[in-house]
Structure 1
Amino acid sequence: MNKGYKPEEIITQSHRLDTAKIKYNFFYLAGISGSGRGRIGALETAKVFNQTSPQIIGSSMLTVYPESELYAEIQASNWSEETEIEKLDELKTLIENLEIPAYFATLGASNAIFVQGQLPKDKTAIIKHLEKVCKTQSESELRHYRTHLQHL
C-alpha cells in the first residue's frame, strides 16, 4: 500500500538493528490485502517476520473511512474490503505461521477482540481464541463494532 520499501529491505534493516543491539517492534494491519487475499498477505508477512527478531508484533484491523484513498478504490471497484471474519482468519493465519519468539497483541480501538501472548508459548491459546470468536460471533456483530467506531 505505497509503503516505499520491499520485504528484502525490511529484513536487511532489521538485521542491521539486530547487529547494533537495537530493539524494534513490528506492526501488522489485518485487512489491507483486501477480500480474498488476507491469508496470502499473512503468509508473506510471516515469511518476512520469521527472518527478523522483533520484540513486539502489534496488530490492528483496517477500518476504511469515506475520506480515504482506499474508500475511493472501493467506489471505483478496484478493491474490496475483507469481512470481519476474514480479518480474524487472516490474523490466525499470521500467528499460525510465525516461528519467532515475540510478544503478540492486537492493539488499538480498531480491534473488536483483544488477544495477546508470548509466541511461541501462547500460540495455541491465541489461535483457539480466534477460532472460537469466528464460530461464536456473527459477521454483523463484528461489523457493528467497526461501523460504530468514533475514532482510532
Structure 2
Amino acid sequence: MHYVESPHRLPYEMASGILQAEIGCSYNRCRFCSLCRKPGKDYRPAPCEEVEADLDELASYVRRPTRIYLYGGNPFGMPRDILIPLLERIREKLPEVKTIGGFCRVADVKAATDEDLATWARLGVQGLSIGAESAYDPALKFMRKPHTAADLEQQCARLSKVGIDYTLFYLAGIAGAGKCSEAARASAEVFSRINPLRINIMTLTVFDNADLAQDVASGAFTPAAEREIVLEIRDFIAGLSGCTSFIEAGHDTNMVHFDGVLPRDQEKMVLYLEQRAEIMNEEHMRLLRSRFRAL
C-alpha cells in the first residue's frame, strides 16, 4: 500500500481498509492543525497509478474489507471528476465493500450539490468524520474554520436527507481560557439538534508547528487550564438534549478518557467528569500536555 506516512486510524475504523486518496489537506489553514504541515505533505490527490495498485492489493486479500476509509485531510473535498470515479472504482474492484468513509469538512459538504450528495450515498458513502470542532462562532472564526454554527447544522441536515450518517468531532478548549463553558453550551444546543451518529471528543493541543503556537507566544490566544477543559466537556455533555449519539473520548489528547451512549449514560459521564476535575493536578496535567507539542 502507498502511504506518505503511516496512516493513523480512528478507533472506529480499525477494521477498515485504508486507501490513500490524497496527500495533505486542500484547505490547510486551521490555526490549530499541524497534521499537514510536515515535509512532503503539500496538498495533491494521490497518483492514479498508486490508487489503482492499492485497490489491486486490497482485492488480493483473503479477507477483503467491507469498508474503505479514504485517507487524507479531506478527500471528500476533492474535485468531483476525481472523487466520483474513485468511489465507482472502489465498488468495481471491491464488490464486498458496503460503505466508504473519510475525513470531510463542513465546507466540503456545502460545496457539493444535492446531486453529488445523492451520488455519494448511492455509491456507499457512510460514516463521514466531520471536523465540526465547535458550534461557538467566535472560536470557529479565530481558528479560521471555514464554517459557522449555522453552516454545520444546515450541511449535516443535507447529509441526513440523503441517508448519510456521520461522526462530529468536538475540540474541547478551542475557545481559549475563560470561554470554555460558553462554547460548551453553544455547541451542545447545535449538536443536540443535529443528533449525529457519534461525537468524538478531542482536546486542543498547541503543537509547535501549528500557527496557533505563534498566537500563544504573542498573547493573542491563551489556552485554557486542563481543569477548565474537563469542566467544558462536562458542560457540553450535560447540555446535550434529545440526543442519542455515542460519545467517544478516548483520544490521546484527552486527559480524561471515557465513552457512553446518550441519554443512557449521560448522568454517569457528567458525574465522572466532575469527580476527575475535582482531583485533577493541574501542574501534572500541563506536563503531560507539553509532551504532545512536538509530535
TM class by shorter-chain length? over 0.9
Query: Is 1:104 matched up with 2:247?
Result: yes
13, 16, 19: which is aligned to 2:161? 19
195, 210, 219: which is aligned to 1:77? 219
Equivalent residue letter for 1:142: M
- Looking at structure 1, the residues matched to 287 and 217 of structure 2 have their Cα atoms a distance apart, in angstroms, of 21
Query: Is 1:65 matched up with 2:207?
Result: yes
- In structure 1, the partner of 2:192 is 50
With the length of structure 1 as denominator, give the TM-score of the two structures: 0.93
The runs of at least 4 consecutive aligned structure 1 residues that moved more than 4 Å come to none
What's the offset of the Cα at 1:53? 2.5
Distance change in 2, residues 1:77/1:68 (3 Å): same
- Looking at structure 2, the residues matched to 76 and 15 of structure 1 have their Cα atoms a distance apart, in angstroms, of 39
Distance change in 2, residues 1:116/1:151 (3 Å): farther
Secondary structure (helix, strand or coil) at the match of 1:143 reads helix
Distance change in 2, residues 1:35/1:46 (3 Å): same
Q: Which runs of 5+ in 2 are unaligned?
A: 1-142
Secondary structure (helix, strand or coil) at the match of 1:29 reads strand
Computed over aligned residues only, the root mean square deviation of the Cα atoms, in angstroms, reads 1.5
- In structure 2, the partner of 1:86 is 228
- In structure 1, the partner of 2:258 is 115
- In structure 2, the partner of 1:127 is 270
Equivalent residue letter for 2:160: D
Larger Rg: 2
218, 237, 248: which is aligned to 1:95? 237
What's the offset of the Cα at 1:147? 1.6
- Looking at structure 2, the residues matched to 78 and 7 of structure 1 have their Cα atoms a distance apart, in angstroms, of 23
User: Retained in 1: the 8 A contact 2:209–2:294?
Assistant: no
263, 266, 285: which is aligned to 1:142? 285
User: Retained in 2: the 8 A contact 1:31–1:87?
Assistant: yes
Query: Over residues 122-144 of structure 1, what are the superposed CA-to-partner deviations in whole Å (9 max), with x where a residue is unaligned?
Result: 01110111111111221112222
What's the offset of the Cα at 1:33? 0.3
| Identical-residue share of aligned pairs (%) | 27
Judge which range, 82-91 or 8-17, deviates more: 8-17
Secondary structure (helix, strand or coil) at the match of 1:58 reads strand
Equivalent residue letter for 1:149: F
Equivalent residue letter for 1:96: A
- Looking at structure 2, the residues matched to 78 and 55 of structure 1 have their Cα atoms a distance apart, in angstroms, of 35
The alignment of Structure 1 onto Structure 2 pairs a total of residues equal to: 152
- Looking at structure 2, the residues matched to 125 and 136 of structure 1 have their Cα atoms a distance apart, in angstroms, of 17
- Looking at structure 2, the residues matched to 115 and 77 of structure 1 have their Cα atoms a distance apart, in angstroms, of 32
Query: Over residues 98-119 of structure 1, what are the superposed CA-to-partner deviations in whole Å (9 max), with x where a residue is unaligned?
Result: 1111000113211122011001
- Looking at structure 1, the residues matched to 257 and 189 of structure 2 have their Cα atoms a distance apart, in angstroms, of 24
- In structure 1, the partner of 2:48 is none
With the length of structure 2 as denominator, give the TM-score of the two structures: 0.49
Bigger relative contact order, structure 1 or 2, given CA contacts below 8 A and separation 6+? 1
User: Retained in 1: the 8 A contact 2:170–2:202?
Assistant: yes
Equivalent residue letter for 1:97: G
